[in-house]
């Protein structure tokens, strides 16, 4: 059973309840002052508390998906070991696994679509990174076999895993349901974390002498996807969305690369690159590059393309309310900006689940299939 399985959580809760009941039942028998009674009391309290902590920890992890698997929890990397051919003419995307979507009829791709686990090899950045691609049902239906689709890059926060986008935030299921209801067009989703050089948080910038993360997302990834799948290659075909660090990256890349992306959505985004032990020195004294990574500075000092932006915040519970207002005021034509402002909502999965559906519908209205 997986770490995020409800059966594992239910078993942990059951064990905690039974141990608690056993402690109450056996306590009178362990009331003596001899070493056996004392050891028994200490042992019962210890195992009961450990069981309670495990149950609470599993419940919290199921809600926020800090860890996607047992291997992730214990630090065992599973995404290594895939050989990527960098020779001339080699494919830039390697499919390593195919999964069904957990929706009615999901066993049939023409009904439920398909999720493919891939490894992307960056042509210019030389970065290799795992990702998940959601292909909508229409992608497999005969009447759409010659149709190209719009695509959206979906990014987690730091240090989240791509599995969070599938299991916790349920992007594929949401896109499937919204397309089925007619509120959005069928869209290919490319889901991954912005941490393409783990464990370093590169804030989606090209680090001098280091990971060329911005190049990977702005150039390599769209090119590789468009060459592998039936996805358009023009700006009107491409968008980005993300939460927290992923939200900052989505806005940053859409703002700085209007020739590749026409839409960018930041859920609970911040607006300038972080500077802490997880990032290291991102700019090596280059003040221009540091200013450029500040989106509010960029809006004031750099030309704005014809991109559409969506930003989200909360009146209570979010720390980005004021800078989000500044971002909105600084967006000028030909760019456009929209927003979602919740009455209350924290920097967490529950808040983002409330925003993903309207955000995807909003993006769909601004992306084109061809």
pLDDT digits (tens, 9 = 90+) for 143-183: 999 999 999 999 999 888 899 899 889 999 999 999 999 99
On whether both 55 and 93 belong to a single domain, the answer is no
203: left (phi over 0), alpha (psi -120 to 50) or beta: left
On whether both 133 and 23 belong to a single domain, the answer is no
On whether both 201 and 136 belong to a single domain, the answer is yes
On whether both 102 and 60 belong to a single domain, the answer is no
On whether both 289 and 254 belong to a single domain, the answer is yes
Query: How many CA atoms are closer than 13 Å to the CA of 182, on its beta-carbon side?
Result: 0
3-state DSSP assignment of residue 308 = strand
| Residue 322 is assigned to a structural domain of this protein | yes
On whether both 163 and 48 belong to a single domain, the answer is no
CA 353-357-360 angle, to 5 degrees, is 125
On whether both 295 and 245 belong to a single domain, the answer is yes
| Residue 81 is assigned to a structural domain of this protein | no
Separation of alpha carbons 218 and 123, rounded Å: 12
Phi, psi angle pair for 129, to nearest 5°: -145, 140
Separation of alpha carbons 134 and 143, rounded Å: 19
On whether both 161 and 108 belong to a single domain, the answer is yes
As for how many domains the chain has, the answer is 2
On whether both 58 and 105 belong to a single domain, the answer is no
On whether both 48 and 148 belong to a single domain, the answer is no
The predicted-structure confidence for 27-42, as pLDDT tens digits, reads as follows 887 777 788 778 878 8
Tell which residue, 176, 184, 257, 186, has the closest CA to residue 222. 257
On whether both 97 and 41 belong to a single domain, the answer is no
Separation of alpha carbons 6 and 102, rounded Å: 15
On whether both 181 and 118 belong to a single domain, the answer is yes
CA dihedral 37, 38, 43, 44 (to 10 degrees): 60
pLDDT, block means (10 residues), the chain with 370 residues: 72 86 81 79 85 81 61 53 47 90 92 95 94 97 94 93 91 96 96 91 94 96 95 96 96 97 96 92 94 97 95 92 96 96 90 95 93
Domain that holds residue 36: 6-64
């Amino acid at each position: 059973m997986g770490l995020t399985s409800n059966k594992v959580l239910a078993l942990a809760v059951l064990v905690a309840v039974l141990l608690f009941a056993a402690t109450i039942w056996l306590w009178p028998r362990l009331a003596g002052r001899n070493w056996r009674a004392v050891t028994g009391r200490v042992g019962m309290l210890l195992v009961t508390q450990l069981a309670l902590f495990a149950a609470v920890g599993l419940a919290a992890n199921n809600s926020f998906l800090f860890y996607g698997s047992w291997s992730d929890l214990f630090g065992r990397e599973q995404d290594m070991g895939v050989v990527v051919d960098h020779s001339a003419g080699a494919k830039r995307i390697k499919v390593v696994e195919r999964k069904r979507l957990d929706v009615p009829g999901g066993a049939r791709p023409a009904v439920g679509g398909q999720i493919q686990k891939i490894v992307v090899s960056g042509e210019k950045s030389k970065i290799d990174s795992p990702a998940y691609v959601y292909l909508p049902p229409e992608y497999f239906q005969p009447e759409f076999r010659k149709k190209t689709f719009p695509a959206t890059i979906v990014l987690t926060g730091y240090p989240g895993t791509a599995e969070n986008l599938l299991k916790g935030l349920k992007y594929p299921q949401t896109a499937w349901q919204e397309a089925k209801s007619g509120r959005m067009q069928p869209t290919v989703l490319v889901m991954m974390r912005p941490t393409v050089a783990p464990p370093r948080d590169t804030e989606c910038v090209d680090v001098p002498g280091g990971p060329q993360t911005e190049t990977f997302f702005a150039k390599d990834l769209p090119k590789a996807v468009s060459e592998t799948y039936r996805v358009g290659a023009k700006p009107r075909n491409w968008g980005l969305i993300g939460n927290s660090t992923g939200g900052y990256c989505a806005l940053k890349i859409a703002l700085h690369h209007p020739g590749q992306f026409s839409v960018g959505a930041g859920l609970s985004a911040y607006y300038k690159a972080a500077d802490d032990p997880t990032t290291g020195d991102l700019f090596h004294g280059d003040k221009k590059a540091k200013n450029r990574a500040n989106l509010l500075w960029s809006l004031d000092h750099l030309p704005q393309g014809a991109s559409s932006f969506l930003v989200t915040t909360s009146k209570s519970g979010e720390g980005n309310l004021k800078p989000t207002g500044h971002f909105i005021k600084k967006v000028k034509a030909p760019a456009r900006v929209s927003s979602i402002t919740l009455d209350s909502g924290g920097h967490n999965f529950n808040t983002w689940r409330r925003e993903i559906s309207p955000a995807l519908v909003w993006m769909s209205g601004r992306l084109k299939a061809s």
